[in-house]
Chains A and B, each alone.
Chain A
């Protein structure tokens, strides 16, 4: 079955370390997105990519980096420059047409220890 796989489900990071969250889709979707979820703030866009080898910053890109070397994969790196990385991270993908619906992954919970 097609879908989006995020891994790991839970991730612990020591302060000062970079960590990478994985997001893989087999839906042949063109666009992929990373959102951060904090209590009381809804979901906020970190980065998005509409085609391979191209991506744009969202509203809260500082302290994060991404790559889009393959259509299926859109990994998110949380760098040591992100001052408050503890959050729930959701990846999503969408067909390229404007009418295309979203498919969400099951999320990664990142905790700084």
Chain B
């Protein structure tokens, strides 16, 4: 079974600085998707960024980028120029690309990010 691990329960960053959130996963599959979701105090889940395992290029969305290391099974999220609105719980998630796996997301435990003004 696949697992996702986020080893940093809490992180803190100064406004305008850069922070990296760590995520590792375990799978025997070669084709899958990885995600970072943001959950602000409203508890609405917001997709931050997505990476297809077959793509070697790291995904980027504005101030958010990932460092995808497939061999090491690592998927970290870098937030540049941190803003107060980035404060939230961040979840790393895995999804198999195999149809009969149901498309279910497997989540890590989450990292609570605080941004200091």
Interface residues of A (CB under 8 A from B): 31, 33, 35, 40-45, 48, 50, 56, 58, 88, 90, 92, 94, 98, 100-102, 104, 106-107
Are A107 and B103 touching (Cβ within 8 A)?
no
Q: Is B84 an interface residue (CB 8 A)?
A: no
Residues of B in contact, count (CB < 8 Å): 22
Using known A-B contacts A90-B45, A98-B97, A101-B50, determine if residue A43 contacts B105 with beta carbons closer than 8 Å. Answer: yes
Q: Is B62 an interface residue (CB 8 A)?
A: no
- Chain B residue numbers with a CB within 8 Å of A58 are 104
Are B47 and A42 touching (Cβ within 8 A)?
no
**Which residues in window 70-103 of B have CB below 8 A to A?**
91, 97-99, 102-103
Bound CA span A43–B75, Å: 18
> Can you give 21 A-B contacts (C-beta < 8 A)?
A31-B102, A31-B103, A35-B107, A40-B9, A42-B4, A42-B91, A42-B107, A43-B91, A45-B105, A48-B104, A50-B102, A58-B104, A94-B103, A98-B97, A98-B98, A100-B103, A102-B45, A104-B44, A104-B45, A106-B43, A106-B44
Bound CA span A102–B45, Å: 10
CB-based A-B contact count at 8 angstroms: 53
Bound CA span A39–B105, Å: 18
